[in-house]
Amino acid sequence: MKDFFKTVLAVICGILILQVVGFFFLMGLIGSAAATGSKTVLPRSGVLDINLSDYALAEQSQETSTPNLLSGSFAMGRTVGLWDAVRAIEAAAADPAIRYIFLRPDGGEQAGMAAMEELRAALLNFRKSGKAVVAYMEMPGNSSYYLATAADKIYMSSYHGGSNTLLGLTSQQLFLKDILDKLGVNVQLIRHGKYKSAGEMFVRSNSSAENREQYQSMVDAAWSAYASAIAEAREIGVDQFNALIDNLALNFPEDFLKNGLVDELMDREALVQKLCTLAQVSKREELQLVALPDYVSARVNSLPGRTNVAILFAEGEIVDGKGVGLAADSFVQEVDALRSDPSVKAVVLRVNSPGGSVMASEKIRSALDLLGSEKPLVASYGDYAASGGYWISNGCSRIFADATTLTGSIGVFSMIPDFSKVAGKVGVGIESVSSNKHGDLLSLMRPFSADELTYMQASVEDIYERFVNLVAISRGMETTAVDAIAQGRVWAGNDALRIGLVDEIGTLKDAVIYAASQAGLVSADDYRVVTCPAVPGMWERLLAMIGSYREKPSVLAGTPMEPMERSLRGLLKENRPSGVFARMPYCLEIR
């Protein structure tokens, strides 16, 4: 019997060892393949193929070959950074090997609206070179069609798949008060600002009038930017375009053709023949399509330069401590490194953040102020630069935003749940023993007294006042004027320009050129653009993935309750229920 157990144990150990060795061997093969694949050889004559259904468009480029430890499979692909995509399009305009751009915008709905705005501007600039942009669509949507209108010609599939989502922008809010009441969860919300609707989903059954007002304003402003650009490109009136949308007049491909929104309907075979004709080749086999990620690898990363202008990406929720993204301690190290690097002559802070921890925002703002006192520091706003995102960046010497950027949200809040009723419902008794009267203030197991609410409100009011004063000093405004446009309200880029929260509607490239000029670098040949922080490598992402499996999986995943669980988990993260936050009400997904 002993020999039997020894044999079984040996077999189990052997299997485990083989799995570990096989895993690392496979990872090595993937790494070798990635290294080999990075040496892209471009054809002497080809077409730059921008196919947004093949890869994601994000702030920074990233290889996304990562293992799924549960299924044993690998996800292959790449995330193309917006800056790299824009530079690739710019390089293609001057590259005699690129005849034209073939744009396939289907899939663009997954990218942010501001990213679409900047990519569209790059395509319009490309056309100034005399080369064409040709678009082909199968599933028109709000963002994808908006991008397609940057093309000289828009071709559309002649097949009707019932997948037209060009219906105007919309966004939905979730309100959980009723179900939380049934569960016995009492969420205590302390905030300043009638528009600071962070937490409303937990304390209301529907939207407040102020929140509804700002929501409608943001959606209208974003759609106005889209609709006016589309109407101008297709040479129709904005009212006419909106009427087509409102009357559901764009159902079939023939509707798009009849109303002048596309130039021709064709199947895939006819499309290939059209592409061959434009590329001046006779056969399909001679048509050389160069994928955007390959062109980025071959051309963009080797652009010449002498000194550096750095793009510092501030992306994600602002949190305390160390880590990737906008973890304050790690991000401050990046800022300090740029400040002490003599090769970096100017910095563009690219913000794509809805905000987060006030303490973390203070740390980052302080480090950026030091950087800005020594080198030109310019801000460029992506999809979001709101609340804490605006806190850290409004001190920059000039702020560029896209028309569809969501910014402002100058306000703060604190939100502490009380689970005492839940405990009572499930038969759990709670008894606190404290050395002082309010020792269990943040225990989450009793409601606040009137004095305690006053205490918490005073903290929120103090931080709000500091926020308003920071903005007033940085933007050269009176505090009363800032307070009038603050109150937690979120503004779209065009409106933010009108009220003085930003200086210019412009792209990331515009911000880079301006920052370089402030450093005395007039010609693009005078400098090289570098980006930071460094994108985590495959092994770093793998380790993070392994760590994520240690967390208890969500039992509410895929249900309407999942956002509530995510929000409550974030609220209780790091056992800091008393934290005060400068954050947007939610990450708005306007589709």
H or E element, residue 584: none
Q: Tens of pLDDT along 505-519? A: 999 999 999 999 999
Q: Please indicate, yes or no, whether residues 50 and 97 belong to a single structural domain of this protein.
A: yes
Q: Please indicate, yes or no, whether residues 377 and 279 belong to a single structural domain of this protein.
A: no
Q: What is the pTM of this model?
A: 0.82
Q: Please indicate, yes or no, whether residues 57 and 127 belong to a single structural domain of this protein.
A: yes
Residue-level pLDDT at 403:
95
Out of 33-37, 280-284, 392-396, 455-459, pick the least confident.
33-37
Has residue 439 got a pLDDT over 70? yes
Q: Please indicate, yes or no, whether residues 377 and 271 belong to a single structural domain of this protein.
A: no
Q: Please indicate, yes or no, whether residues 331 and 447 belong to a single structural domain of this protein.
A: yes
When divided into structural domains, the chain yields a total of 2
Residue-level pLDDT at 66:
45
Has residue 71 got a pLDDT over 90? no
Q: Please indicate, yes or no, whether residues 265 and 407 belong to a single structural domain of this protein.
A: no
Percent of the chain at pLDDT exceeding 70: 79
Residue 68 covered by a domain: yes
Residue 221 covered by a domain: no
Whether the Cβ atoms of residue 110 and residue 141 lie closer than 8 Å to each other: no
Residue-level pLDDT at 434:
83
CA dist 313 and 311 (Å) reads 6
Q: Please indicate, yes or no, whether residues 421 and 478 belong to a single structural domain of this protein.
A: yes
Q: Tens of pLDDT along 564-576? A: 455 555 544 443 4
Q: Please indicate, yes or no, whether residues 311 and 444 belong to a single structural domain of this protein.
A: yes
CA dist 15 and 36 (Å) reads 31
Has residue 146 got a pLDDT over 70? yes
Query: For the domain that residue 398 is a member of, what is the CATH number?
Result: 3.90.226.10
Q: Please indicate, yes or no, whether residues 541 and 457 belong to a single structural domain of this protein.
A: yes
Has residue 537 got a pLDDT over 80? no
CA dist 455 and 444 (Å) reads 16
Distance of CA 217 to the CA centre of its chain: 21
How much is the mean pLDDT over the chain? 83
Three-class secondary structure of residue 490 per DSSP: strand
Q: What are the helix and strand counts (H, E) for the chain?
A: 21, 23
Q: Tens of pLDDT along 158-169? A: 987 767 889 999
Has residue 81 got a pLDDT over 50? yes
Out of 182-196, 228-242, 311-325, pick the least confident.
182-196
Residue 568 covered by a domain: no
Average pLDDT, stretch 67-96? 74
Residue 394 covered by a domain: yes
More confident residue, 453 or 46: 46
Out of 112-121, 435-444, 550-559, 581-590, pick the least confident.
550-559
Q: Please indicate, yes or no, whether residues 310 and 287 belong to a single structural domain of this protein.
A: no
Q: Please indicate, yes or no, whether residues 117 and 149 belong to a single structural domain of this protein.
A: yes
Residue 573 covered by a domain: no
Residue 208 covered by a domain: no
Has residue 371 got a pLDDT over 50? yes
State residue 96 phi and psi, 5-degree precision: -65, -15
CA dist 147 and 142 (Å) reads 9
The string of DSSP letters for 47-90 reads EEEEETTTSEEESS-EE--EE-TTT--EE--EEEEHHHHHHHHH
Q: How confident is the model at residue 361 (pLDDT cuts 50, 70, 90)?
A: very high
Has residue 23 got a pLDDT over 60? no
Has residue 79 got a pLDDT over 80? yes
CA dist 326 and 320 (Å) reads 8
Average pLDDT, stretch 190-218? 82
CA dist 487 and 86 (Å) reads 36
Q: Please indicate, yes or no, whether residues 378 and 356 belong to a single structural domain of this protein.
A: yes
How many of the other CB atoms lie within 10 Å of CB of 582? 32
Average pLDDT, stretch 238-267? 96
Q: Which domain holds residue 508?
A: 304-428+436-548
